[in-house]
């Protein structure tokens, strides 16, 4: 795989919750998504590490896309295989077979914060122009998590959301999501100092993580009870199928970011959504596209 030269939040030995060890990935408990499973955004973001190490030299993320083939286990060694090219192919598997496949494109160079990398995909630009004003809109009312918890308390399920990406507990990303006047949702993301590298750049894996959960919540937010009945009564839940991130500009050290998310289309058990990372001035840094799947709730999550 080449001489490792890349070190970031997910693969740094200074991180007690390091997840990437060269050509092996092992997600510790902190990176939980659905119960007993790895967080989809963290999983996709971790695909960047072995590729950036294999390329060597200075580079930055241009694009990453990951397809979750099955539930990603926690605390288990997963082997990484690469096919390097202009668009690198990544496979992650264990003895049970493929867990995730993906593609990565990198941008060669040592980029300072606020460096422009690329334009947003043309087909999303109209949506992004409409979403941008929400980047500095006031956040009002209870968050989606607190509303969902209130609905859950009315059922026999109850429980606490422990997801790394959207839990409001201290062990997770500080990431709160709110309804808007329309069908979009807006998120407040308060990064921690460890989420920035020594040049003050927001970690590329964290960008993938923080743009993942909103794609599920924007679908659940269309229900009056935020999908509580969907899971408790109908026995179904939205999960990440494919998550793709376009890195447009290098985010510098900020106290707060916003993620604005909307549904592009929904048919049956498949939802196509987009989530965009802004600063409070409306500068666009990254945009994600996700395919979410409505599945029957596995027994261990009931």
Please give the pLDDT value at position 38: 96
Other C-beta atoms closer than 10 Å to the C-beta of 302 total 10
Other C-beta atoms closer than 10 Å to the C-beta of 71 total 16
CATH of the domain at 160: 2.40.160.210
- Quick check: is 116 in a domain? no
Please give the pLDDT value at position 41: 97
DSSP symbols for 182-204: SS-EEEEEE--GGGB-TTSPBPH
Please give the pLDDT value at position 167: 87
Which one, of 83, 86, 94, 84, lies nearest residue 25 by Cα?
94
Average pLDDT per block of 10 residues along the chain, 302 residues long: 69 94 96 92 97 92 97 96 96 97 96 98 98 93 83 58 83 88 94 94 97 96 82 83 98 96 95 98 97 84 56
Please give the pLDDT value at position 2: 40
Please give the pLDDT value at position 300: 62
CB contact at 8 A, 63 and 246 = yes
- Quick check: is 9 in a domain? no
CB contact at 8 A, 250 and 60 = yes
Range of the domain at 84: 20-109+125-301
- Quick check: is 174 in a domain? yes
Other C-beta atoms closer than 10 Å to the C-beta of 143 total 20
- Quick check: is 7 in a domain? no
For residue 57, give the DSSP letter. S
Count structural domains, the chain: 1
Looking from the CA of 61 toward its CB, the CA atoms found within 13 Å total 32
- Quick check: is 6 in a domain? no
């Amino acid at each position: 795989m080449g001489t490792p030269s890349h070190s970031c939040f997910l693969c740094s030995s200074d991180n007690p919750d390091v997840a990437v060890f060269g050509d092996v990935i092992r997600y510790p408990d902190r990176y939980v998504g659905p119960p007993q499973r790895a967080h989809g955004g963290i999983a996709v973001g971790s695909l960047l590490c072995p590729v950036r190490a294999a390329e060597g030299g200075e580079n930055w993320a241009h694009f990453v896309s990951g397809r979750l083939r099955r539930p990603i286990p926690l605390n288990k060694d997963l082997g990484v295989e690469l096919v390097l090219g202009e668009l690198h192919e990544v496979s992650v598997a264990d003895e049970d077979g493929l867990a995730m496949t993906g593609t990565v494109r990198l941008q060669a160079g040592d980029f300072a914060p606020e460096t422009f990398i690329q334009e947003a995909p043309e087909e999303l630009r109209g949506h992004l122009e409409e979403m941008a004003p929400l980047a500095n809109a006031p956040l009002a009312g209870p968050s989606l998590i607190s509303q969902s918890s209130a609905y859950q308390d009315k059922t026999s399920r109850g429980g606490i959301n422990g997801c790394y990406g959207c839990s409001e507990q201290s062990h997770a990303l500080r990431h709160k999501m709110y309804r808007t006047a329309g069908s979009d949702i807006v998120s407040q993301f308060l990064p921690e100092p460890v989420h920035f590298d020594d040049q003050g750049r927001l970690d590329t894996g964290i960008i993938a993580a923080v743009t993942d959960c909103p794609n599920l919540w924007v679908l659940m937010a269309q229900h009056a009870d935020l999908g509580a009945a969907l899971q408790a009564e109908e026995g179904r839940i939205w999960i990440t199928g494919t998550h793709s991130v376009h890195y447009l500009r290098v985010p510098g050290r900020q106290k707060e970011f916003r993620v604005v998310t909307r549904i592009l289309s929904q048919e049956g058990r498949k939802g196509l959504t987009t989530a965009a990372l802004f600063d409070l001035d409306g500068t666009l840094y990254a945009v994600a596209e996700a395919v979410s799947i409505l599945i029957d709730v596995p027994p261990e999550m009931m």
